[in-house]
């Protein structure tokens, strides 16, 4: 599955970007994400998280950066994590995932979600390239950025 | 109805602080007929709150209720309702409601509860800590006496940053009748003085963490589609730019430019009606319309200076920190000035720097003296209505700012017949949950383009919804009773779901050329979330049922047709001591003539029409027995024993 190391940044890649100055901390993105990923309002399982400091007005969306050299990918002992050739998103292959939590430990941004019931790890897959969170954000605090090789866009 | 379907958590938490016991009861027996929120809270109040007790008695209860849509992706679902015997309503303490936005209602749903019933009275100050199934009582001596900001920071430090807290400030502890329950900086349940009830029960705070909890949804894809559809239909709401302030408008915008850091909102809301403001030297806070009560006096005193901004902002933040109701201040502050000008109180007798009205010292001293019940503050803490009965000669000036129920004027009851009727039939300020009617009939016709709803378009909407263009015509009482019945039913239903009245009923679409909204939004959201297919008409009937239940609660407490009115002076032409420009009341500034009297005879006739449409007795205003039975309120009909 996916791209090899040498190809990682020579192909089109994309990731979520967040603007904490625009974010108002309303958690619509979390709710929508959890809803589309789990079918329920289950904010723990959302693939992005909002840190709220209501007393200082600091609202910070934490999103998966789809790192150019992904820590989670390198941390996975069974090679379940790869970069999708089509949309350049870092994906976890649920069939291969053994639920060991290594990726979660490896990710410095704490963006790997562990489902205790299924004993599997999940992460932001950008909804296949057209993320719902970006569509629902009332403050336009979320967006998509592209990186990697330009002409392949 | 609860667990099998999406939306509801399925149980209600009963907390007795006298013996520190808890009990879980199922939501289902309540939700079948009353959905949630206001509906189930009103039913619990009917069943459990004795009409003869006082608000501060240990037998009084506070019911914090969410609905099946709270905390879901339904637009504007960040709210909850609080019901209990209110210490603030005037002339009597009655059972009434008070809404609250923010994040606490959502968190309690995640924790697995549809509602919390708080009862009893603790011997020593305590706070309650709810973490899913675990409910603990902690000693609150170390936070008792602290303001709401530091209380919340303390609890978040102790229990984790995602903990949601509702708490009271010193005003609630000292049982000020105008005390609020606060969450974060400015999410407030203010209008019914429930902060004082929490204070009487010696409950400083209720902290909740719903970590790992979830709310099930029947049709998730449908809910997401509905969210997108109705957000687009609703269109861009310029509230997020304006977050309404006092005149002079250009000063207001310059203030924003200097100190605004962004927006804030309740859970999951696209409107974003709070601005977040940081003024140097003072605590930051989010702010919305009513908080601006001191902007104009401070502007007149200081001009446009940093001192002026700080004076005004101190008024905002101190209210939030002490847990005092800003809305009360919109009436009380100019009322005190009137009393001072008339020579009824002075600096010495009141202990307040009244001669420096508009200064920072004045507002700080006023708020502190109320919250800690010092000097004249001990009287004012009873609320302006009760204080006006105590202070000699104060009552005529009081009526200038307070139309009824001991609550400050919120939209001119003199100028808008529909709003006058809403005021008359309610137990508190009705405009807090009937904004939609005001938007259609007043506010949005005055918005600047491209946001304006032109009068002909508004009339077309009125024709479709109320069946007549006259329903939003402010020159006549014709068709108003029907519109008021519709709005009350919708409001009761909306408060049971619980959604925000700023958006529902969705009369207006800002994105469509003809501005025609869609009033079926609530029923579609409810169907998608719960999996129970409900039509708009069925929901309207549930709304009618809940409003009749609320009326029955009022009637049991002694409400009759005679009390369905506003104060006498509103039927007379002249107000006493016609105010300076800076005393013009909140939201009523939009009309030039403040002295239109309400035509008494026509007003009474409109009331009779209202009772007829409601199926209530025209002489007494009691719900008729057969009406209650038609609505499925058999046990209420039995117990109320109304005239036939």
Cβ–Cβ contacts within 10 Å for residue A66, how many? Answer: 24
Spell out the alpha helix ranges (H) of B467-580: 480-497, 521-530, 536-556
Q: B246 pLDDT band (50/70/90 cuts)?
A: low
The answer for B474, left when phi > 0, alpha when psi is -120 to 50, beta otherwise, is alpha
Residue A143 belongs to a domain: yes
What is the domain extent for residue A24? 5-147
Asked if A37 and B211 count as a contact pair (C-beta separation under 8 A), the reply is no
Reply yes or no on whether the pLDDT at B627 is more than 90: yes
- Please give the helix or strand (H or E) that residue B83 lies within, else none: strand B80-85
**Considering CB atoms only, which of A31, A52, A56 is closest to B268?**
A31
> Given this model, what pLDDT does residue B585 score?
43
Which residues of chain A register pLDDT less than 70? 1-10, 149-153
Closest CA to A123 of A77, A87, A81, A95: A81
User: Which one of B73, B107, B234 makes the best mutation probe of the A interface by having the most chain A beta carbons within 10 Å?
Assistant: B73
Q: Measure in Å the smallest separation between the Cα of B266 and chain A Cα atoms.
A: 6
Please name the member of A36, A43, A56 whose beta carbon is closest to the beta carbon of B220.
A36
**Rounded Cα–Cα distance for residues B165 and B185 (Å):** 11
Nearest alpha-carbon partner for B307 in B335, B331, B279, B326: B279
Neighbouring-strand partners of residue A114:
A121
CA dihedral (B186, B192, B194, B196) positive or negative: positive
What is d(CA B644, CA B625) in angstroms, rounded to the nearest whole number? 6
Q: Does domain B11-209 have CATH number 3.40.50.720?
A: no
A98–chain B Cβ distance below 8 A for any pair:
no
* ipTM (interface predicted TM): 0.92
Instruction: Kindly write down the DSSP assignment for every residue of B194-218, as one continuous string.
Output: HHHHHHHTTEEEEEEE-TT--EE-S
In the beta sheet, which residues pair with residue B14? Answer: B23, B117
The band of B575, judged by pLDDT with boundaries at 50, 70 and 90, is: low
Q: What does the DSSP 8-state code read for residue B439?
A: I
Minimal CA–CA distance to B119: which of B175, B50, B38?
Answer: B50
Note the pLDDT of residue B573. 75
pLDDT in tens, B154-201: 999 999 999 999 999 999 999 999 999 999 999 999 999 999 999 999
Q: Tokens 């719902």 label which residue? A: A132
B228 contacts A138? CB cut-off 8 A: no
- Residue A14, domain member (yes or no): yes
For residue B413, the model assigns a pLDDT of: 86
- Whether B444 and B436 have beta carbons less than 8 Å apart is answered as no
Residues of chain A contacting B103 with CB distance shorter than 8 Å: 27
* pLDDT, mean of residues B44-54: 94
Residues of A in contact with B9 (CB under 8 A): none
B428 pLDDT above the threshold of 50? yes
Q: How many domains does chain A have?
A: 1
Specify the DSSP element, H or E, that contains B260. strand B260-264
User: A22: which 2 tokens?
Assistant: 């625009």
- Which structure tokens are listed for B112? 């697995």
CATH architecture under which domain B239-401 falls: Orthogonal Bundle (1.10)
pLDDT of residue B249: 64
List pLDDT tens digits, range B55-73: 999 999 999 999 999 999 9
The predicted pLDDT at position B576 comes to: 57
Per the domain annotation, does A92 fall within a domain?
yes
Strand B115-119, strand B126-131: pairing: unpaired
CATH architecture of B417-640: Orthogonal Bundle (1.10)
For residue A151, the model assigns a pLDDT of: 52
Q: Kindly report the nearest CA distance between residue A115 and chain B, in angstroms.
A: 10
Dihedral angle sign, alpha carbons of residues B627, B631, B637, B640: negative
Distances (CA, A) of B173 to A81, B208, B473: 56, 21, 45
Other Cβ atoms less than 10 A from the Cβ of B4: the count is 13
Q: Average pLDDT for residues B431-448, to the nearest whole number?
A: 88
pLDDT of residue B273: 86
Question: How many of the other CB atoms lie within 10 Å of CB of B575?
Answer: 18
CATH number, residue A93:
3.30.70.20
Let me know the angle formed at the C-alpha of B275 by B269 and B280, rounded to the nearest 5 degrees. Answer: 150
> What pLDDT does B244 receive?
63
Task: Answer whether residue A153 is part of any domain.
Answer: no
Q: Is B353 on the interface with A (CB under 8 A)?
A: no
B287 at the A interface (CB within 8 A)? no
* DSSP code per residue over B277-331: E--TTS--EEE-GGGGGGHHHHHHHH-SSHHHHHHHHHHHHHHHHHTB-HHHHHH
| Element housing A83 (H / E) | strand A81-83
Q: Which residue of B has its CA nearest to A19?
A: B262
Q: Is residue A44 part of a domain?
A: yes
Predicted local confidence at residue B642, as pLDDT: 52
| A138 shares contact with chain B (CB less than 8 Å) | yes
Q: In chain B, how many H helices and how many E strands?
A: 27, 16
Q: Is B636 exposed, middle or buried (0-12, 13-18, 19+ CB in 10 A)?
A: buried
Which of A:51-90 have CB within 8 Å of B?
A: 51-57, 59
With a CB cutoff of 8 Å and minimum separation 6, the contacts of B566 are: B403, B404, B413, B420, B423, B424, B598
CB < 8 Å to A18, chain B: none
Quick one: closest CA in A to B286, which residue?
A57
pLDDT exceeds cutoff 50 at B110: yes
- Please tell me the distance in Å from A139's CA to the nearest CA on chain B: 8
The verdict on B150 touching A (C-beta cutoff 8 Å) is: no
- DSSP H helices, B71-131, are 104-110
Residue A10 has a pLDDT of 64
Strand B203-209 relative to strand A13-18: parallel, antiparallel, unpaired?
Answer: unpaired
Which chain A residue lies closest to B103 (C-alpha atoms)? A26
How far, in Å, CA of B644 to CA of B631, rounded?
16
Q: Does residue A139 belong to the interface with chain B, where contact is any CB pair within 8 Å?
A: yes
Q: Is the pLDDT of residue B250 over 80?
A: no
3-state SS class at A85: coil
The ranges assigned to domains in chain B are 11-209, 239-401, 417-640
């Amino acid at each position: 599955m996916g791209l090899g190391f040498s190809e990682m940044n020579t192909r089109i890649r994309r990731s979520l970007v967040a603007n904490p100055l625009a974010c108002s901390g309303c958690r619509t993105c979390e709710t929508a994400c959890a809803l589309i990923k789990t079918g329920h309002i289950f904010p723990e399982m959302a693939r992005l998280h909002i840190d709220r400091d209501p007393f200082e007005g600091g609202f910070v969306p934490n999103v998966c950066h789809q790192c150019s050299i992904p820590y989670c990918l390198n941390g996975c002992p069974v090679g379940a994590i790869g970069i999708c050739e089509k949309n350049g998103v870092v994906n976890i292959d649920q069939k291969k995932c053994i639920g060991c939590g290594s990726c979660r430990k490896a990710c410095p941004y704490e963006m790997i979600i562990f489902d205790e019931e299924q004993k599997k790890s999940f992460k932001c897959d950008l909804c296949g390239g057209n993320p719902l969170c970006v569509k629902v954000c009332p403050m336009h605090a979320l967006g998509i950025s592209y990186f990697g090789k330009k002409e392949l866009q | 109805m609860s667990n099998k379907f999406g939306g509801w958590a399925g149980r209600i938490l009963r907390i007795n602080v006298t013996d520190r016991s808890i009990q879980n009861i199922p939501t289902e027996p309540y939700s079948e007929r009353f959905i949630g929120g206001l509906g189930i809270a009103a039913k619990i109040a009917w069943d459990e709150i004795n009409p003869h007790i006082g608000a501060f008695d240990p037998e009084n209860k506070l019911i914090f209720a969410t609905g099946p849509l709270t905390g879901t992706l339904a637009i504007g679902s960040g709210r909850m309702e609080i019901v209990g015997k209110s210490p603030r309503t005037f002339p009597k303490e009655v059972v009434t409601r008070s809404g609250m936005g923010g994040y606490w209602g959502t968190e309690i749903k995640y924790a697995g509860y549809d509602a919390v019933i708080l009862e009893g009275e603790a011997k020593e100050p305590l706070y309650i800590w709810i973490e899913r199934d675990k409910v603990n009582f902690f000693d609150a001596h170390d936070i008792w006496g602290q303001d709401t900001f530091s209380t919340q920071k303390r609890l978040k430090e102790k229990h984790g940053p995602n903990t949601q807290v509702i708490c009271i400030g010193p005003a609630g502890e000292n049982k000020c009748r105008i005390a609020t329950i606060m969450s974060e900086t400015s999410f407030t349940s203010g209008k019914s003085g429930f902060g004082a009830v929490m204070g009487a029960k010696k409950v400083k705070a209720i902290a909740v963490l719903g970590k790992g909890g979830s709310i099930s949804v029947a049709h998730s894809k449908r809910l997401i589609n509905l969210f997108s559809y109705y957000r687009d239909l609703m269109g861009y709401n310029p509230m997020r730019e304006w977050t309404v302030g006092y005149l002079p408008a250009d000063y207001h915008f310059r203030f924003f430019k200097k100190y605004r850091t962004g927006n804030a909102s309740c859970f999951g809301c696209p409107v974003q009606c709070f601005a977040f403001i940081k003024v140097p030297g003072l605590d930051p806070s989010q702010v919305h319309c009513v908080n601006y009560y001191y902007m104009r006096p401070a502007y007149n005193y200081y001009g446009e200076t940093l001192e002026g901004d700080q004076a005004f902002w101190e008024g905002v933040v101190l209210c939030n920190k002490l847990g005092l109701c800003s809305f009360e201040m919109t009436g009380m502050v100019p009322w005190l000035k009137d009393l001072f000008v008339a020579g009824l109180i002075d600096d010495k007798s009141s202990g307040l720097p009244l001669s420096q009205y508009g200064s920072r010292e004045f507002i700080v001293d006023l708020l502190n003296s109320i919250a800690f019940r010092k000097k004249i503050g001990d009287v004012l803490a009873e609320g302006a209505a009760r204080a006006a009965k105590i202070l000699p000669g104060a009552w005529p000036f009081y009526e200038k700012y307070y139309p009824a129920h001991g609550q400050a004027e919120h939209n001119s009851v003199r100028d808008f017949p529909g709003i006058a009727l809403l005021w008359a039939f309610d137990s508190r300020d009705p405009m807090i949950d009937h904004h939609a009617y005001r938007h259609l009939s007043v506010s949005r016709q005055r918005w600047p383009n491209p946001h304006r709803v032109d009068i002909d378009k508004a009339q077309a909407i009125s024709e479709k919804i109320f069946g007549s263009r006259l329903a939003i015509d402010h020159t006549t009482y014709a068709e108003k009773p029907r519109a008021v019945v519709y709005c009350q039913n919708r409001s009761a239903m909306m408060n049971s779901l619980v959604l925000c009245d700023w958006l529902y009923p969705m009369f207006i679409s800002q994105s469509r050329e003809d501005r025609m909204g869609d009033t079926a939004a609530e029923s579609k959201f409810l169907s998608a979330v719960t999996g129970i297919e409900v039509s708009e008409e069925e929901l309207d009937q549930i709304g009618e049922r809940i409003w009749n239940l609320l009326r029955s609660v009022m009637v049991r407490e002694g409400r009759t047709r005679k009390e369905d009115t506003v104060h006498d002076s509103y039927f007379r032409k002249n107000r006493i001591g016609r105010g300076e420009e800076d005393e013009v009341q909140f939201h009523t500034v939009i009309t030039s003539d403040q002295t239109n009297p309400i035509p008494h005879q026509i007003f009474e006739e409109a009331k009779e029409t209202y009772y007829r449409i409601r199926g209530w007795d025209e002489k007494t205003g009691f719900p008729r027995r057969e009406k209650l039975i038609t609505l499925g309120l058999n046990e209420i009909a039995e117990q109320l024993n109304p005239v036939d």
